Chain A
Amino acid sequence: MRLHVRSVLDVAHVLGGKEHILDMDEGAAVGGLISLLLARYGDPLEALLLQSRDPMELLPHVKVYVNGRGVDFIDGLYTALRDGDDVLLMPQIGGG
């Protein structure tokens, strides 16, 4: 399946851009996507996203959205992904 992965600020810098198209096997979940990204981008990305790698736990201020909805309100890192999904990795932002 093909995913639209987006991010901003430091996370985007590490990924080399704000928008990416990624192919993954059917049945993958959000946790699997993050593992794939960690395998490609290593420690710099882990430092920005994770509190713990095993078991995987996001930093409290990092939010992941699938098709606009926070995964905290779906199935967290177990949220299933489908072809065409839009996944947003969002570090904390403030102001406004």
Chain B
Amino acid sequence: MIAGGYTGRILRANLTTKTFAEETLDERLAREYIGGAGFGIYYLYHEVPAKADPLGPENKLIFASGPLCGTDAPCASRMSVTGKSPLTGAVGMAMTGGHFPAELKFAGYDAMIIEGVADEPTYLLIKNGKVLFRNARHLWGMSSFDCQHFIKNELKDEGLRIACIGPAGENLSRLAAIINERHAAGRKGLGAVMGSKNLKAIAVRGDDPVPIADKEAFTKAKTRMLKAMKESPVLYPAFAKLGTPMVVEASWGLGTLPAKNWTATGEWSPNGRIDVESNDKHRVTNEYCYQCPVGCSQLKMVRGGKHKGAVSVPEFESMYCFGSHTGVESLDPIILADRICDELGIDSISAGVTVGFAMELFERGIITAKDTDGLELKFGNGDAMVEMIRKMAMKEGFGALFADGVRAAAERIGGDAGLYAQHVKGLEMPGYDVRGLKAHGLSLATAYTGADHNRGYAFQEVFGIPEPYPVDRFAIEGKGKLTRWNQDARCVTCDCAPMCAFLMDMAVPGIALENTADLVNGVSGLGLTPREVELAGERVNNLAKAFNTREGFTRADDILPARLMTEPIKEGASKGQYIPQEDLDSMLDEYYEDRGWTKDGRLTKGKLEELNLRVVAEELARAGLI
């Protein structure tokens, strides 16, 4: 029995049989995987068979938080959603914040495993240990915001926290997201998995506080973290006031803001268009996740013109995917596009990147107005962007062609279209032109979810933070080792413990593992060393790699989009930079060696056994995969 931090219970709900069961959390699972993504990937690997159809009944969705979630540890209301991604075919894991993660703990569960397929639209109500399967036929087709409102009204409980899908998930768009409040487990198409299960929503409510094992130790750890936050040179007041759009400034400075489907990085200026001053003019207020003193979410509103009144919380990535990437120069359509993505339940990054991809195809004449239902899909056309997103989510007209992202669209269109598709393993690229950020590029090439900036964010290169050591962003040497550290430390600290990723960069980069160990030990009494915490991160990344190996992924999949490997950046502070195959190979060699994998990127029996993954080693050996 774990003394605190965990509720000790895992909920397993089967939609086919409309039955549920409670399982006891194994202490070994807690010690070795901590929580969150660790739990999700553990169950994914062991319970979803190889080559399962991501949109079929064998796939599962695992919602999991960690021991810090629901306590008053700062910025820890985070939760992973894990399943096999219908977008990539690899591990699909996305994090979300807000209040739902903490509420799931208060309702009594560290994790819930959703399996099977309901025979009709269904939603789950989980309230203080009771689990009900409710008919959702009347909610099918509803936007995510209306769905949340409707369920609260129907159940006469404004305190419910709800995660749901919009029409994109119902329509099985492989870009579909799961929305809770204004937050999203956005990437990798997990909303489509939920839609494939006929599961419209999950509503949770609970009153049980999360027990604390060692209040004195927890208070001490929490005090140190709050002190680090207070002493951060950027968290207060800058980040609390400006939020993630601050990164537009860094990206402009470094010449790494991708523009016009990555053809105009360093040429297209965000200044006066999507920079912090432009954002600040639209800011209404801050929104806070549970137990967050920062409130970086910036609610913004369009104050005039034809989109007047549109409200959303666009982050830096929205400035990129709906702004620089598409060449749209005004925040108004960006705010509206962000709003529509949340309402219809489609991942904003992937949707925006797909629009920018279509724009380049249009400008090159590969597709024409005949193919786009008459839309003039030129760079900079904000109205066309908004309309295309709506069509993608609804799979209406030409939107159906692009509704599954750039890789699928390129395959459907054929010819040279694939040359202009910006993705890794099928996941659309986030807003960092990694030609000028080499470790960040290596992480996108090797992350178990594809081009996912949150799996190994190289804050050393983007922000110049010298932890665990300073690095030259243009250098190749040393980036393999750094990427391994970034992926493992971030995984355990942010995705498992869990903790908001922004704190890792801005408050505790130099003490991340020690800070995580002390907080987790304070709430749980597990007595983990910082080294054991780091090993948990390494274990999760290796188990995710094992899942992907079983699905057929190899070194050949650890690659970047063709443009980044052949075309140097033409202007700006990263002019001349790119990552040719030989540089990527050099970084991959170092990365695999530091990971203890083979030169061709395969897991090894020795490494898996060192991480107490003997069963996995035996299974992969039997299949001839190690």
Contacts and interface: CB of A to CB of B under 8 A. Distances in A.
Interface stretch (A23-31, A35-43, A58-66): A58-66
Residue of B453, B462, B465, B573 with most partner-chain A CB within 10 A: B573
Contact of B276 (A9, A73, A94): A9
Contact of A93 (B234, B432, B473): B234
A87 B436 CA distance: 16
A50 interface: no
Contacts of B505: 94-96
B247 interface: yes
Given A6-B253, A8-B249, A92 B465 contact: yes
A59 B276 contact: no
A75 to B, nearest CB: 13
Interface stretch (B66-74, B139-147, B188-196, B236-244): B236-244
Contacts of A8: 249-250, 252-253
B254 A68 contact: yes
Nearest to B506: A94
Interface in A14-62: 18, 59-61
A72 interface: yes
Given A92-B233, A93-B234, A95-B246, A63 B464 contact: yes
B133 interface: no
Contact of B316 (A88, A90, A92, A95): A95
Nearest to B457: A96
A65 B317 CA distance: 24
B436 A90 contact: no
Given A18-B271, A65-B253, A68-B574, A94 B436 contact: no
Given A9-B246, A95-B243, A68 B233 contact: no
A9 B254 contact: no
A96 B316 contact: yes
Contact of A88 (B466, B474, B573): B573
A18 to B, nearest CB: 6
B463 interface: yes
Contact of B234 (A6, A63, A94): A94
Nearest to A10: B238
Contact of A95 (B502, B573, B574): B502
A7 to B, nearest CB: 8
B415 interface: no
B233 A91 contact: yes
A70 interface: yes
Contacts of A68: 254-255, 436, 474, 572-575, 577
B352 to A, nearest CB: 16
A68 B438 CA distance: 13
Interface residues of A, number: 26
Nearest to B505: A94
B487 to A, nearest CB: 16
B184 interface: no
B504 to A, nearest CB: 10
B101 to A, nearest CB: 20
Nearest to A73: B472
Given A9-B276, A70-B473, A95 B464 contact: no
Contact of B246 (A69, A88, A93): A93
A92 B234 contact: yes
B296 interface: yes
A60 B231 CA distance: 13
Interface string B157-191: 00000000000000000000000000000000000
Given A65-B573, A68-B254, A70-B472, A93 B249 contact: yes
Contact of B573 (A9, A60, A86): A86
Given A8-B252, A9-B249, A65-B573, A96 B473 contact: no
Interface in B231-274: 232-235, 238-239, 243-247, 249-250, 252-255, 271
Contacts of A73: 470, 472, 475
Contacts of A10: 238
A95 B253 contact: no
Contacts of A92: 233-234, 463-465, 506
Nearest to B317: A96
B453 A95 contact: no
A9 B233 CA distance: 13
Interface in B308-325: 315-317
A41 to B, nearest CB: 19
Contacts of A94: 232, 234-235, 239, 246, 459, 463, 502, 505-506
B287 to A, nearest CB: 15
Interface in B116-154: none
A87 to B, nearest CB: 10
A88 to B, nearest CB: 5
A14 B593 CA distance: 47
A90 B253 contact: yes
A88 B502 contact: no
Interface string B294-332: 001000000000000000000111000000000000000
B472 A67 contact: no
Contacts of B239: 94-95
Contacts of A65: 253-254, 573
Contacts of A86: 573
Contact of B250 (A67, A69, A70, A93): A93
Interface of A: 6-10, 18, 59-61, 63, 65, 67-70, 72-73, 86, 88, 90-96
Interface of B: 232-235, 238-239, 243-247, 249-250, 252-255, 271, 276, 296, 315-317, 431-432, 436, 453, 457, 459, 462-466, 470, 472-475, 502, 505-506, 572-575, 577
Given A61-B465, A95-B506, 11 more contacts: A8-B253, A65-B254, A65-B573, A67-B573, A69-B474, A88-B254, A91-B234, A93-B250, A94-B232, A94-B234, A95-B315
14 contacts: A8-B252, A8-B253, A61-B464, A68-B577, A72-B470, A73-B470, A73-B472, A88-B573, A92-B233, A93-B250, A94-B459, A95-B244, A95-B502, A95-B506
